[in-house]
Structure 1
């Protein structure tokens, strides 16, 4: 770090489709906010970022628009991501940026293209980061969980976020095989919106769909099925309407996105070398990411793969924790970084 190691201002960032998390060296998790930006339509001026902007989703007056600048794990609106990052980084900075600009490791989907990588690096540099490194999310998750990624023994990690599901078998600082499907919590919400529209002519917003998923969503039959009241707009009469829905119905609605994830897991297992398959049989599959908390998803995977499946204790913060661990031990973890690093001079 040069002359002032105690000035360390290293960041571990999980730039997610649904939420952005920032861990700061020596200070822990300081940012955990939705990746949402609210804009004034006429002036394109940013009105709110994060939690405040998320509360506006689907509720804004005509001149204000709430936008999610990340789509399927990658940048959909470069300028807004830059402004969002700038805002979050400024909030966690201990020293003014002219004294010390931070270094950061950012978790990105393993299926990301070169152009998408470049966009993440450029937006972070524009937001004031001095050195930007990228790491694949499954690798960051594994390091965040404390898995010894340097050993020859194989570990299978499934990271299901808002925009993507990442499946990887990790050994010797590398991903021996990885699958990335652009299906996650967002697609589950969309499936619920679409189901209610088709079945009941009821129109609900994405925030309501997310609430339904959290309260009664499941991927496997439950011992006690749940039900909840849903409010939306009747598409036929055009007036507000309330109805009760059950977890069985929502499970049917979620079947398509969940089946896509299950198929990707099976494909990854088919591509795994036999020696590592034996390790996975012993250790099982580890699930992380916010969408891995969906009820019964671990049970569904257990049934489909005949392997032990475990959801870790704090699945939402794993990527950011791992990213911070990498930047704090850069020499040790250099082999896991994606090769787009360009030092700012």
Structure 2
């Protein structure tokens, strides 16, 4: 029996557009970018995660980097399966004598279709899963930030990930109403690249735009504690020569303004379709922000000002979803909203 327990190991996976996180034995053991590097001639995976990200936009003709997930769902099945397999291997860096069989809980967007769900399940099974359960991201996020999801109380969760922003009202362990828009971290990155082109005639790559977003990203043009300007290197579109400019948080706030406005509109739309009793709960409790996008400076203040309700940012919002997925794995018999 002891041997059986050892051979059946449990992991919880947050398979995100931008990052993949894996929890094993209550510890986050894998936190890597969702990207793979492949050899074009042999189609073999050369690197995954951080190593592949270092190669991104710097490859030659024989190498290509692939982000297997787009807008929260699997866009490249083979690359996703390979990435999952390699990341699961990271759970045990030393190869065990008997490879364990895995019981997995994977979180998925609430707006996912049956076909997309099947792609996630197939990828997990191909990567070595014997049992696969799935949980919707807003439910996992609510568990991860300490909300009792089984209570007859309305809670609004806004999960701003890499590919999608999910806005969900949950009560009694179910999703009552749900809005999902394909505007999130990746769209912010694209906005920054576009702004650098338009205002500075500077061509920058995805990785540089991501660094700008992390270091000086802001949703407001006036911050109480503003970050220092960042030096940005790129190629001058006029001369073709590399150059450096200084970028301030105000410029980034200007670049992100339209995308954030669309997220605010989606929140208002979700509130309109919320039943009145749950709406009164949300008025008392406020809204909860999770996901990497919640780290954008001033975003909570901007949303709060727009909708006149308190907005709470989760502690460690990047890991809220995977923590909730891990909790659902530990209490798999109690949480009936896990899809078999």
Normalising by structure 1, we get a TM-score of: 0.93
CA–CA separation in structure 1 for the residues paired with 2:52 and 2:294: 25
CA–CA separation in structure 2 for the residues paired with 1:223 and 1:321: 31
Q: CA deviation at 1:91?
A: 2.3
Give 5+ residue unaligned stretches, structure 2: none
Dislocated runs of 4+, deviation >4 Å: 1-8, 93-99
Residue 148 of structure 1 corresponds to 148
Residue 189 of structure 2 corresponds to 189
Verify the 8 A CA contact 2:6 2:100 in the aligned structure 1: no
Q: CA deviation at 1:246?
A: 1.8
Report the count of equivalent residues: 337
Residues 8 and 329 (structure 1), Cα distance of their counterparts in 2 relative to 1, 3 Å cut: farther
Residue 337 of structure 1 corresponds to 338
Residue 52 of structure 2 corresponds to 53
Deviations 1:140-188 (A, max 9, x none): 1111222110010111111111111111111101011111111111100
CA–CA separation in structure 2 for the residues paired with 1:179 and 1:2: 45
Residue 115 of structure 1 corresponds to 115
CA–CA separation in structure 2 for the residues paired with 1:217 and 1:183: 16
CA–CA separation in structure 2 for the residues paired with 1:96 and 1:128: 14
DSSP 3-state at the match of 1:153: coil
Verify the 8 A CA contact 1:10 1:324 in the aligned structure 2: no
DSSP 3-state at the match of 1:337: coil
Verify the 8 A CA contact 1:12 1:320 in the aligned structure 2: yes
Root-mean-square deviation over aligned CA pairs = 1.9
Normalising by structure 2, we get a TM-score of: 0.94
Q: CA deviation at 1:97?
A: 9.4
Q: CA deviation at 1:2?
A: 10
Residue 67 of structure 2 corresponds to 68
Q: CA deviation at 1:4?
A: 4.6
CA–CA separation in structure 2 for the residues paired with 1:139 and 1:184: 19
Residue 288 of structure 1 corresponds to 290
Residue 103 of structure 1 corresponds to 103
DSSP 3-state at the match of 1:141: helix
CA–CA separation in structure 1 for the residues paired with 2:147 and 2:2: 30
